Chain A
Amino acid sequence: MINEFLYMNGYGLYVWSAFSFTLLCFTSLYVIIKNQYVKEKNKFVSKFGALDSKKAKVAISQTINKEILSNTQSI
């Protein structure tokens, strides 16, 4: 039964390669975008850490900066 499911009347190779290519594209795109996100976030955290206390106070007063530094964004 499993063989029948994989073979699909001789069309298995076409069907599985189409679905596999789609999954590969999804995974690659997700990994690329996620890496870009982590890179920019790490850059922000290190830049923020290098600020003196006065500048850091100004930066943290912005909601968006506070949100970036918060740990809630796992994705």
Chain B
Amino acid sequence: MFKIFEPNKIFLITSKAPKYVIALFAVVFSIGLLEALIFSPEDYKQSHSVRIMYVHVPAAWICLGIFSSITFLSLSGYIFKNKNFFLIAKSLAPSGFVFNIVALVTGSIWGKPTWGTWWAWDARITSMLILALFYLMYLIAWRIYEDKENVLKITTIITILGIINVPIIKYSVDWWNTLHQPASINVLSKSSIHSSMLFPLLIMTAAFALFSLLIFLMKYNTELIKIKNKGLDRL
């Protein structure tokens, strides 16, 4: 059923893809930076500090998306007994973790001029910090238990526990009275953000997604070569 996901076949694509992805990322990211730092307008309330949104929001979106994907892949790996799903999940984690850190730090930098503080134990910020801890546990588990049979079980348990936190992050601004503002962009209803700000935000999101794809491809290729190195030992 999942023959398309066989590493031998995938590697033919993943080994060549990074050079195209990095070129595309360079173009999209350059346009995104120009839009975010020069062409987009300043906010009537937050002035130029609103520009931090163009790195903070895409990083937060992508780290949440990657964690959800890791959980889905880990569970699918168990259900369909396909170890390649775990390998894909493992290769996604480093960029997810880094995006989580970027979201936390840029949020903190944005918080100082907006709220007058670098940090608050607010529901949204605290739940994002908890997500970073789950990412860290996931990455450490792979490092500690690598080559052991129970690594798949342990990492899957971490993702299942961590995914409970994802809807909490999403709805924390609605469920609790938080310092963090509610969502400005809604897929199901009208967004409260102006198109002159939405456009650069979407370009930066595309650039960040391309960067995480690049890191994923490089990490996945590394993992496959690592497996093949062990294969050479067995010859």
Tally of contact residues, B, Cβ under 8 A: 48
Tally of contact residues, A, Cβ under 8 A: 42
Q: Are A68 and B225 in contact (CB under 8 A)?
A: yes
Which residues of A, 24-75, contact B by the 8 Å Cβ criterion?
Answer: 25-26, 29-30, 32-34, 36-37, 40-41, 43-44, 47-48, 51, 55, 58-59, 62-65, 67-68, 72-75
Q: Are A75 and B48 in contact (CB under 8 A)?
A: no
Residue B56 lies at the interface, judged by CB distance under 8 Å to chain A: yes
Residue B229 lies at the interface, judged by CB distance under 8 Å to chain A: yes
Which residues of B, 211-235, contact A by the 8 Å Cβ criterion?
Answer: 211, 214-215, 218-219, 221-222, 224-226, 228-229, 231-233, 235
- CB proximity of B188 to chain A, nearest CB, Å: 29
- Please indicate the chain B residues that have their CB under 8 angstroms from the CB of A44 in the complex: 225, 228-229, 232
Kindly state the separation between the CA atoms of A33 and B218 in the bound complex, as whole angstroms.
7
Can you name the residue of chain A whose Cβ is closest to the Cβ of B111?
A14
Kindly state the separation between the CA atoms of A6 and B235 in the bound complex, as whole angstroms.
60
Q: Are B224 and A64 in contact (CB under 8 A)?
A: yes
Kindly state the separation between the CA atoms of A59 and B228 in the bound complex, as whole angstroms.
10
Interface of B is mostly: helix
Interface of A is mostly: helix
Q: Are B106 and A22 in contact (CB under 8 A)?
A: yes
Between A and B, 26 residue pairs with Cβ closer than 8 Å are A5-B38, A8-B47, A8-B51, A11-B47, A14-B49, A14-B52, A15-B37, A17-B109, A18-B52, A18-B105, A19-B37, A19-B51, A21-B102, A21-B105, A22-B55, A25-B101, A29-B215, A37-B222, A44-B225, A47-B229, A58-B235, A63-B8, A63-B12, A65-B228, A75-B18, A75-B218
| Residue ranges of A at the interface with B (Cβ–Cβ < 8 Å) | 5, 8-12, 14-15, 17-19, 21-22, 25-26, 29-30, 32-34, 36-37, 40-41, 43-44, 47-48, 51, 55, 58-59, 62-65, 67-68, 72-75
